[in-house]
Structures are given as C-alpha cells and as structure tokens.
A and B are shown apart, each in its own frame.
Chain A
Amino acid sequence: MEYAYQFPVCAEQLIMLNQSLQKVVGSDARVGRRELLRIGSLAGLGLSLPTLFANSAPAATKAKTVFQKVARSCILIWLDGGPSHIDTFDPKPNAAREVRGPFNAIQTRLPGIEISELFPELACRMDQVSLVRSVTSPLGEHNLGAQYMLTGYQPSPVLAYPPLISVLSEKMQQQASLSLPHSIAVPNFDVGGGIINGHGFLPASTAPFSLNADPATADFKVNHLALPDSLTANRLRRRAEFRQLLQSNTQRDPLMEQAFSVLSSSEAEQAFDLTREPQQIRSRYGPRTIGQSCLLARRLIEAGVRLVTVVQHGWDTHADLITRLKDGYTGAKVPVGLGPSLDQALSALIDDLIDKDLYEETCIVVMGEFGRTPKWNPAGGRDHWPRVFSVLFAGGPFKRGMVYGASDAQGESPDQDAVTPADLAHTIYTAMGIDSEASLSTPDGRTVRLANERAKVIEQLLTYH
C-alpha cells in the first residue's frame, strides 16, 4: 500500500536521494556503516555551537565536568508501552520481510543513516539529534522495564528507586521557580502500567505534577490553578498560617507549600494557556495529544519550568502495526498514527527550541521501556523485546548528528557498544550537570548513589569545550 505523505521540502529531496541511492548503490555495494557513522558525526560537530551557561554550571567535582556543557532544563518524551526500534529509529531494510516489517527505511540528512519512513520530518533534522541504537535491558515486562529505564536501577522489592526526573527535581530545587511547579508531566505520569508513584523513596514533592488533562482537547484546562473569587490573597496567606499553627515546628509539607506559591501568582495559569499560541503554531505541532503536549512543554520551558515529562501512550503494539504506528485509524488519508504524530511534534519542538535559543540549554530524551520483537507476530504486531532498542537524545550538550552503538543485522541484540539503562541515567545526570556519584539517603537509612555504581557515562554523546 502506498501512502500519500505531506512531505516537507527537505523530505522530498530525501526521497529523491533515497531513490537514486537505491539505483546507484545496491544493497551489496553500500558504504560501510562505520564509515558513514564517522561522516555523520563529523557533519554534526560542525553544526553544534557550544556555549556555557554560567548560571547553571554545576558545582563540579571532577576536572572533566568543568569543561563539559550542561543543560538547565530537560524534556523527557516517554513512549509508553515500548516502541518498536525497527519501526522507528533502527530500521533493517536488508533483513527478511518478517523482520523488516511493513515500513520502508528512508535516508536522513546524515549520509548513510536511515530511519523509518514514519519519521520524514525527523529525517530532515537528524543532524540535530543523536541516536543510541544499542540500549539493552533484561526486563521485558512493562512495569519492571519502565522502572529500570526511568530510574537507572533494576527494581528491587525492598527499595523504590526514584525516577531520574524526580532526582533532578530534588537536586535542582534551589534553581526552580517558586510560582511554577518544579516538574510537570503532560498529560499525566501513568507510565509502565500506571503504578509507578513518580518519586520512589524521595519525598512526594519531587514527583512530576500530573496535569491529568489532555492539551489536545478543545476545553483543555489544568484544574485549580486559580483561586475562587471568595478567596483573596490575604485569606490564602492566613490559611497557610493557620496550617502552620496546627502542625508542630518539625512538620513540613513541601507539596502544600508549593501549591500555595503556585496559586499566589497567575504565572502558571498563563503558562498552561495554549490559546495564547497562534493557531498556525498549534497546527505545526499536530492536533494529537503528543503534538499539543510538546507545544505545552515548550511553553513551560520558556516560562522557566526545568523538568517536563511528555507521555505518549499506546506504544504497546502487539497487533496491527500499520494502523497503530502509521495510519492512526483504518482508512486514514493522512497518516496520524503514533509515528507520524510523534514525528511532527518532536520536529516542531526541535525547530521552536532552536528558534528561541533554548535548544542549547534544553535536553530532550525520547525513550520507552523496551523495544519490540524483530519478527512481527501473526497479529501483525510486535511483542516485547528488551534485548536491544533505541533511544533518541537531542538538544543540550548532546552531540548533533551522532549515532552511537548498533544492533545486529536482525535487530536482535546489541552489535557494538552495548548501553544499559543505568548508563543512560548516568549520561543524563551528567548532561544536566548533576554529579552522578553523589548520594541520596533513603528513609530507612541507606545511601544510594544517583547512578548505579557499574554505570558508565556515554562520553561520546556529550559535547566538551
């Protein structure tokens, strides 16, 4: 089946490039992958403009980190359910059809690097992002896999590890704006089956603020960001004081304190108001939840929120890849499935952050709990596959136009430079200027390092001065 995409100019060029490559370069005569990787990363280096953000430089303990760029904000785009690596960022065009799947691979702006045809816009921006294609985890169940990816620790029955987004919230609290929530999840933080509490052993105040509202709906509104008419600022203050009178001096309720300060200004209400965006901008992100969520993420980052988690639900595609990943619904004229809607949203987000000079200071991490089986199943879907999968990094100190690691020819296992979820966490902390070797104390008196002891930073992904 052929699908008519609304290709951007760049994508049209890429299609022609794809076609001509297929003519000239048969599958046997392809340029070696390593060679292409090298070219790709060189091209990327030329485009990156390292700048140091003086006010967010970490209290670095090691000489190395002094020279490394750090970001001040982070957008985690969580693809809940586990995205197929083969149908997104690690296609296997030369594999048998049962592995290759229903989608073609397309060339990207990085010579020799192909991604799935579901991501034509992103293909034009591959020189702005990095891919890691060799992530491997032993955990193929949603909740367990999600915990490992989100926390950098394999789950344990005795200790609930905090997601790295909560650790960042804990570590960055001093930098956070008082009138905005420190960390926000759009549309919610119901990930990995919905039973991850969002803060592990850290206080509940470090969990992302779940909007529980879909920015793509016409009446999108975050509840309770404005005081009722009867409640003046003075009365609000008095209520806070009365609460203090009821609690002894040792008792603190940081969540309530945050709620009071959020409600004492209209900043949050304005930041969440998507109607303040021109219609043309809103449509550039696409009408789906993921699109408007990414737009909201951009607004929040602009307003000074440091941590935004965007969750795209539905990636647990055990059946019918064509409808789920591409079309969105049966008989769609314009594909609006998970792939195209993410493609549009992520690309618009990257463009806007670059335009607004926020890209260099904002990390974007795109990942889910695992990949999916290389062979598609009789239901036309793919099942859970944690052995190898891909993660996308963008912005901040991440290299532009880099592909790190590779899976084998069938997309079954890491072929080179295997990376664990613990390594990813260590790398993200480092990119955010947080010392991963620092420790947290648990309520039951343990000392836990931010990053697992065995974790390694993927230094090749980061830009150094």
Chain B
Amino acid sequence: MLRTVSASAICVLILSGCFSNSSANAESPDFENEVLLVLTKAGCNSGACHGAAVGRGGFRLSLYGQNPDADWIEITRSLGGRRIDTVRPENSLLLRKAGEFIEHGGGQRLIEGDHDWRTVANWIARGGLRQQNLDRPKLTGIVINPSRATVSKVGEQLQIEVSAQFADGKQQPLTELAILQPQDADAIQLENESGLLKLRRPGRHVLLARVRDLVATCEIIVPTKAALADNHYQVHAPHADASQLSGSSLIDRHIDQRLTELGLESAGRADDATLLRRLYLDLTGQLPPVDRIREFVWDKNEHKVDDLIEELSNSEQAITKWTHWLATELQMQTVVRQDADNTRATAIFSRLRLFVENQQPMTELFSQMVEAEGSLVNNPNVGFYLLANDGRKQAEQFAELFMGVQLACANCHNHPLDRWTQDDYHGLAAIFAGIRRGESISWKPGATNMHPATGSAATMQLPDGRTLKGDQDPRPILADWIKGPGEAQINRAWLNRIWSELFGSGLVNPVDDLRASNPATHSELFDNIAEDWKANGGGIMWMVRQIVSTDAYQRASINVRSELTPEQNLSVAAYGVRKPKPLRPEILLDIYSQATDVWNPIGSYPAGTRAISVLSANQADRRAKTENACTMGSCEADLADTLSGKLSMIAGPIINDRIAAPNGRVSQWIADENRNEDQLIESIYLHLFSRFPTRQETEQWTEVLSQVDNRHDAIEDIVWSMLTSSQFVLNN
C-alpha cells in the first residue's frame, strides 16, 4: 500500500521523500512496480501455486514475479486475452478467480474493493499496459528500516518499515505489500500488517521481508536482561572504530560488542592444559607431546600462548592438517577412487600442500583449477573437473565449493531467495559444457548447454551477469573473474569455512549457503574480517592464526554433557563461552593411535601414516561403515554420537585393539614395574587427557588399583574408560 505509515514515537525516520498516492491518481498503477507486488503478496505466484515451474490450472506465472514480461503476456494475452476485461475490470477472469466469484482452487486471495483489489482493477481499467510511462523508474530493491535494532527487553515492540528502492535512488514505503517472515516465529511476533513487531525471546533474530522477488532482512537484538534501560531501542551505526582494528582484535571487538548488546557475560580463558590441547588439535591435528605439556604449564612467560600459536601455525604438521582440511572441503577424496598405488591421492595432496604452504589466496588456487588441463597426476588442479560429469553439475560444484552458494534451485527456476537466475545457472553450465573428461581433461569449442526455458543453447555467462560470445575459450575469462569481481564472494565463503572449522559453526550456516536472505550472525564482523584477510594476503594460515588468537576462541568451555540453560545456549551462539567440538574422524583416529602409540596401516599406506596426512577414497565414503573403512580413517559414523558409535567403542576393534596391542603404550604401562602408581596415573593422564591428574583423581585410581585382583585388566579398563570419555573424543 503506497502510503506513509504515521510517524509514532517508536517509528523510525523514513528516508522517503517521493511518496505519491497512485491509486487516487489518474495514472495507471505500474504492472511491474505495483500489480506484481499485489499478486506476490496474495500468494498467486508462489511455488505452490501459479509460480510452479509448470504453473497451475493452465495459468503460469514466474516465481515471485521474477519475469515481468512473461507474466504480463500470460495475464493479458494468453487464453485469448480473457484474463482481463478492460471495459469491465470486475469481469476479468484474473479478479473473478482471485476474489473467488468463480471456482478457484486457491480460494479467495483478494477482497473486492480493498486497496490491493483496486490496484489490480485500476491497472486493468487503464488498459492493462506493460508500461504506462517509460520514464517510470524501475523497482530495484527493498530495504527494511531499521535494518538493525536492539530493543530493551523481551516483550517490547518495534515498528519497522519496508521501503521500495527505485533506480533513480528514491525510496517509497510499502510495508503493507511486503510479506514479513520471522526466521523464528516464537521470537518475533507480527502484531499487524503494518510492520509492528513484538519481541518474545532474548537473542539475535532475523526478520525477512519479501516484495515481489526482492528480499531484505532486519536483525533485531533482544538482551537477556534490560541492558539498555535508558532508551527504548537503539539503531546501530556502523562501528567506525572497529575498522581501525585488524585480525584477532577486530574479531573480539565485534564479538564483545554483541555480548554487551545481549547482556551476556563471557567466560574467562581456558586453563593452560586445555588451551594447549585445543590449539594442538585445531592447528596440527595432534595431541601435544607430553614434554610439551609440562613445559607449557610451568612456563611463566605471559606471551606463551601467542608464542605457541606462532610456532604451531608455522609447523609442518599445521600445513598438513590444513591441507587435509582443504582437500576435504573441496571433496577431493571423491576423485581418488580406484587409486591402488595412491599416485592420484599423493599428487592432489602435494599440490594442495604447496598451496597452503605458500600462503596463497583462495582465488589463486581456484583460477588455476578452472584453467587446468591434462591428467590428474601431471596436473592435480584438474581434480575440480573430475568432481562432475557434465556442465550443469560442474556449475553447481563451482558455486558451492568456490562461492559458498547453492545454485541447484536455479536449474529449473530462478532461485527463490537469492539473486541467481536460470540464466546464471545455465550460462555458467555453458562455460563448462566444453570440458572433455577422461584420462585427461581438455576443452573443445562447440559444446553447448540447453537452456530449459528457451530450449536452445544457453549463452555463456559469468556469475556477475556478463555474457560471453562466440567460440572463444571461456576459461581464462572465468579465471579472471575469480581473481577480480568474484574475489570478495570467494573470500567470504572460505573465511566462513575456516571459522566453522575452528568454532564448530560458521558465521553463516549452513556454511555453503551464503545469500542476502541468510545473513551472518555477525554481519559487520564478517564484512570487516573478509576485507582484512584480503589486505593481509588471503592465505589460509593467516586467517587461522587470527581466529585462534582471539579471546573468543581461547575461552573456557561449558560442560557438554549437562543440560544447558537457555542463557548458556545464547552465550554459546554469541561466542561468550565455548562449546566442545567433535573432532574430524581422521583426527580422532590419529589421536587414538598417538595416545596408545599403536599405528595401523591406513588403507594401502604403511603403518605409522597419519590418517590426516593422506587422502583416501574411503574418507570420502562417509556411508561406508565397514570395519575396514573405519580403520582407514572414515570413522565418523562409527564413533559419532549414535548407538552404533557407542557399540563400536565398547565392542569394536578401534579402541580395544589399540589397548591390547603388545607393543603399544598401554602394554608398556602394564609391564613397567619401576613406576609407582602416582607416576603411572600421571603418565596415563598426560598421554590421554594432555593434563596432569588432580590429587583427587590420583587417589581415586590408586584406590581402585589397590583393590583389583587383575592389575593388567584393570589398567586396560581405566584406559578404555578414558579413551571413550568426552574429555578425549571432543576438542574441549
């Protein structure tokens, strides 16, 4: 509805100065800027109704009005033009169906005589034209005002306003025409159609507004307690001072600000031994060596954590761990099937390792992958092309892996919640259509990808919309796009993946679903740190170092097995306290080997190989649940928080065989008669839990050992109980 919302005490300033009341105007309502908005709000062009790819009941509209030209033809010209009657608009089939004066499967969508009805009727009465006035600026976007707000407490109301943004820069309020969708309907209650909200739960909430095919979001912070009693709500200005910061202090600045807004306190730093283990596992995929634990815990140097981060992040083991992480994120395990002598796996791993070691930006790797030709062994960059069988799947892989975007929707219709159109999808698929797969990857001109909407070959198109003509090889141009216009998106996608690896969840979740309608939990942090990463060279290890150096990363963990209070949950989500994080299956397998000093062969790699230092097809096969696969480093399901995981821990070989191995550490503990019980228990704790036992723990196990008749079995059983406990299997 094109009228201003009356300004109230709680109403936000409206930027609009171009308001006009068009329905009283002699000028016709605009089809694209007004009529389609009404039809979208009424649900006519939703995916469940006429917006379905095949339409409904013989009437087919584009999803959410994404294609105004096609919709205009469908409404005014198809069916012999019977859908509109310009002489007697109320006799138009469009209105008679929508008002349910005749049978309509979708029921009544418009009420005769109300504003929305009149918009459509007036448009029909004035000829049902596609464009009345060619000078009329196009509707290019919508904004919610405010786009961020903090209310003072649960139960407060907030008035928001949705405005249209036109090509000439003007804005106009249209809250009533927007579909308002709270991400969490328990938290944001819509009080009326005019954008009055009531906040019902503490936390950070998102409201999504949709007008035609345009979406905007509003982020609302509701503190746990009345943290901001002085004014009713705050509209946030960008943090000017934060932009002066860099790296870890920039991250902490944003996180602390959010904690303050939410009225949450944060946990202190984790104790030395926990932090040492956490950093070793995250940076190198290993447990800290026992000597290192003693050294670190007794070290009085106040910079010892920073020094440790510096040392570990420059280590060979860190390069290996993050190479394995990168290969897994790029799904490279899937391209090394039938690789009996591991040459393919080794080639890929070495290539990626060099990339991580050289601190190159992601765009460097991806542009090389796009231009790669030849065999996998000679040029491991072609691994990207072995992930897919055709151009369309390749386009989806490109979007998901490189850009963190779910493109598959756009195969059949424009993405309903994002800017990706069918032209984008099939244009990108056309770029990859010429790829020839086999033993060797090559490109041949002339191959095309059929665009399902036109039935003919899709025009090659870069993700930014530029089309490519003729028979030229599109790959160098796509590589340039990656290093140029595409860089920001790629960096954000990969920053999010690194963040998720270190914190257990991304700034955007799911990590490969970046879009305007799925905003980051800390959007300014996300923007600023992505810029910062680029300015600092864009290497993976730089970003890893910044994140692990933050206070947020180094905080103490909550107890994972006890039930959390709602406030604790909020605090975990806001990084005020850490939640223990499951380990990657390969790392878990490795630390079982390390703790017990029993190294079994990993696939066809020799005994002593760390699972994280190689690629194995079985690692990709998360559903291969056989014992064999598991010993090859794919134990996710077998040791996860499932009944089969627990059965495997109790009765399976992964832990039991390592405990019983005659040459393993446990056998040595049992055989060594020179140690007293205190020393034995200390050694067990240092090797398994990477910390010293408490006085109480030492006494408890000494007591246990003094009472058993079979010391051998008892030590095995103690070790088993420790290896299966959350202190061991999680990164705390």
Q: Give the distance in Å from the alpha carbon of A375 to the alpha carbon of B55 in the complex.
A: 13
| Chain B residues with CB below 8 A from A16, complex form | none
Kindly specify which of A125-133, A225-233, A288-296 makes contact with the partner chain. A225-233
A255-B642 contact in complex given A246-B727, A443-B563, C-beta closer than 8 Å:
yes
Q: Give the distance in Å from the alpha carbon of A188 to the alpha carbon of B622 in the complex.
A: 13
A334 interfacial contact with B, CB 8 Å: no
Q: Give the distance in Å from the alpha carbon of A324 to the alpha carbon of B586 in the complex.
A: 37
Contact B650 A259 (CB under 8 A): yes
The 0/1 profile, CB within 8 Å of B marked 1, for residues 248-266 of chain A is: 1011110110111011000
B625 interfacial contact with A, CB 8 Å: yes
A212-B722 contact in complex given A247-B561, A263-B651, C-beta closer than 8 Å:
no
B646 interfacial contact with A, CB 8 Å: yes
| Chain A residues with CB below 8 A from B239, complex form | none
A209-B713 contact in complex given A158-B187, A252-B561, C-beta closer than 8 Å:
no
Closest to B648 in A: A224
Q: From residue A86, how far is it (CB to closest CB) to chain B in Å?
A: 15
The 0/1 profile, CB within 8 Å of A marked 1, for residues 135-179 of chain B is: 000000000000000000000000000000000000000000000
Closest to A373 in B: B54
| Chain A residues with CB below 8 A from B564, complex form | 443
| Chain A residues with CB below 8 A from B700, complex form | 245
B725 interfacial contact with A, CB 8 Å: yes
Interface centre among B559, B566, B569, B717, by most chain A C-beta atoms within 10 angstroms, is B717
Interface centre among A230, A246, A258, A412, by most chain B C-beta atoms within 10 angstroms, is A246
B471 interfacial contact with A, CB 8 Å: no
A258-B646 contact in complex given A140-B47, A212-B625, A387-B48, C-beta closer than 8 Å:
yes
A260-B650 contact in complex given A190-B623, A212-B623, A246-B721, C-beta closer than 8 Å:
yes
Kindly specify which of A116-124, A236-244, A354-362 makes contact with the partner chain. A236-244
| Chain A residues with CB below 8 A from B645, complex form | 255
A56 interfacial contact with B, CB 8 Å: no
Closest to B714 in A: A238
B339 interfacial contact with A, CB 8 Å: no
Contact A445 B566 (CB under 8 A): yes
A235-B644 contact in complex given A260-B650, A373-B54, A443-B569, C-beta closer than 8 Å:
no
B243 interfacial contact with A, CB 8 Å: no
Q: Give the distance in Å from the alpha carbon of A223 to the alpha carbon of B637 in the complex.
A: 12
The 0/1 profile, CB within 8 Å of A marked 1, for residues 283-295 of chain B is: 0000000000000
Q: Give the distance in Å from the alpha carbon of A102 to the alpha carbon of B650 in the complex.
A: 52
| Chain A residues with CB below 8 A from B105, complex form | 413
Contact A159 B184 (CB under 8 A): yes
| Chain A residues with CB below 8 A from B627, complex form | 223
Closest to B643 in A: A209
| Chain A residues with CB below 8 A from B644, complex form | 209-212, 223-224
The 0/1 profile, CB within 8 Å of B marked 1, for residues 334-357 of chain A is: 000000000000000000000000
| Chain A residues with CB below 8 A from B726, complex form | 247
Contact A226 B651 (CB under 8 A): yes
Closest to B659 in A: A230
The 0/1 profile, CB within 8 Å of B marked 1, for residues 191-215 of chain A is: 0001000000000110101111100
Contact A213 B650 (CB under 8 A): no
One of B183, B625, B643, B720 near A239 (C-beta < 8 A): B720
B10 interfacial contact with A, CB 8 Å: no
A83 interfacial contact with B, CB 8 Å: no
Contact A212 B717 (CB under 8 A): no
A333 interfacial contact with B, CB 8 Å: no
Q: From residue B638, how far is it (CB to closest CB) to chain A in Å?
A: 8
A-B contact count (CB 8 A): 138
One of A159, A245, A259 near B646 (C-beta < 8 A): A259
Closest to A252 in B: B561
| Chain A residues with CB below 8 A from B625, complex form | 212-213, 223
| Chain B residues with CB below 8 A from A138, complex form | 46-48
| Chain B residues with CB below 8 A from A256, complex form | 646, 649-650, 724
Q: Give the distance in Å from the alpha carbon of A138 to the alpha carbon of B48 in the complex.
A: 6
Contact B623 A239 (CB under 8 A): no
The 0/1 profile, CB within 8 Å of B marked 1, for residues 428-447 of chain A is: 00000000000000011110
| Chain B residues with CB below 8 A from A236, complex form | 650
Chain B contact-residue range equals 35 or more
Q: From residue B556, how far is it (CB to closest CB) to chain A in Å?
A: 16
Contact B721 A223 (CB under 8 A): no
The 0/1 profile, CB within 8 Å of A marked 1, for residues 560-571 of chain B is: 011111100110
Q: Give the distance in Å from the alpha carbon of A260 to the alpha carbon of B643 in the complex.
A: 10
Closest to B208 in A: A157
| Chain A residues with CB below 8 A from B468, complex form | none
A397 interfacial contact with B, CB 8 Å: no
The 0/1 profile, CB within 8 Å of A marked 1, for residues 599-631 of chain B is: 000000000000000000000000101010000
Contact B47 A228 (CB under 8 A): no
Interface residues of B in 46-100 (CB under 8 A from A): 46-48, 54, 56
Q: Give the distance in Å from the alpha carbon of A419 to the alpha carbon of B290 in the complex.
A: 63
A304 interfacial contact with B, CB 8 Å: no
B235 interfacial contact with A, CB 8 Å: no
A156 interfacial contact with B, CB 8 Å: yes
Contact B651 A246 (CB under 8 A): no
Q: Give the distance in Å from the alpha carbon of A226 to the alpha carbon of B648 in the complex.
A: 10
| Chain A residues with CB below 8 A from B569, complex form | 443-445
| Chain B residues with CB below 8 A from A231, complex form | 651, 656
B114 interfacial contact with A, CB 8 Å: no
A81 interfacial contact with B, CB 8 Å: no
| Chain A residues with CB below 8 A from B185, complex form | 156
| Chain B residues with CB below 8 A from A205, complex form | 643
Q: From residue B536, how far is it (CB to closest CB) to chain A in Å?
A: 32
| Chain B residues with CB below 8 A from A181, complex form | 643
Contact A223 B713 (CB under 8 A): no
B111 interfacial contact with A, CB 8 Å: no
Contact B647 A238 (CB under 8 A): no
Q: Give the distance in Å from the alpha carbon of A412 to the alpha carbon of B105 in the complex.
A: 11
A207-B559 contact in complex given A223-B648, A231-B656, A235-B717, C-beta closer than 8 Å:
no
Contact B48 A243 (CB under 8 A): no
A239-B721 contact in complex given A138-B47, A138-B48, A255-B642, C-beta closer than 8 Å:
yes
One of B562, B647, B720 near A223 (C-beta < 8 A): B647
Q: Give the distance in Å from the alpha carbon of A212 to the alpha carbon of B562 in the complex.
A: 29
One of A235, A239, A248, A262 near B647 (C-beta < 8 A): A262
Contact B660 A210 (CB under 8 A): no
One of A243, A387, A445 near B721 (C-beta < 8 A): A243
Contact A230 B660 (CB under 8 A): yes
B652 interfacial contact with A, CB 8 Å: yes
Closest to A158 in B: B184
Contact B48 A228 (CB under 8 A): no
B641 interfacial contact with A, CB 8 Å: yes
Contact B660 A446 (CB under 8 A): no
Contact A246 B562 (CB under 8 A): no
| Chain A residues with CB below 8 A from B184, complex form | 156-159
Contact A255 B641 (CB under 8 A): yes
B311 interfacial contact with A, CB 8 Å: no
Q: From residue B661, how far is it (CB to closest CB) to chain A in Å?
A: 12
Q: Give the distance in Å from the alpha carbon of A226 to the alpha carbon of B656 in the complex.
A: 13
Q: Give the distance in Å from the alpha carbon of A239 to the alpha carbon of B708 in the complex.
A: 13
| Chain B residues with CB below 8 A from A258, complex form | 643, 646
Query: Which of B's residues lie within 8 Å of A, judged by CB?
Result: 46-48, 54, 56, 105, 183-187, 201, 518, 559, 561-566, 569-570, 623, 625, 627, 637, 641-653, 656, 660, 700, 704, 713-714, 717-718, 720-722, 724-727
Sorted nearest first, the 8 A-B pairs with minimum C-beta distance are: A445-B566, A242-B721, A259-B646, A212-B625, A251-B561, A158-B184, A224-B647, A224-B651
A-B contact pairs, 6 of them (CB 8 A): A223-B644, A224-B650, A245-B721, A247-B726, A258-B643, A258-B646
Query: Which of A's residues lie within 8 Å of B, judged by CB?
Result: 138, 140, 156-159, 181, 188, 190, 194, 204-205, 207, 209-213, 223-228, 230-231, 235-236, 238-239, 242-243, 245-248, 250-253, 255-256, 258-260, 262-263, 373, 375, 386-387, 412-413, 443-446
Given A228-B656, A242-B704, 7 additional A-B pairs, CB 8 A: A223-B644, A225-B647, A239-B720, A251-B561, A258-B646, A263-B647, A387-B48
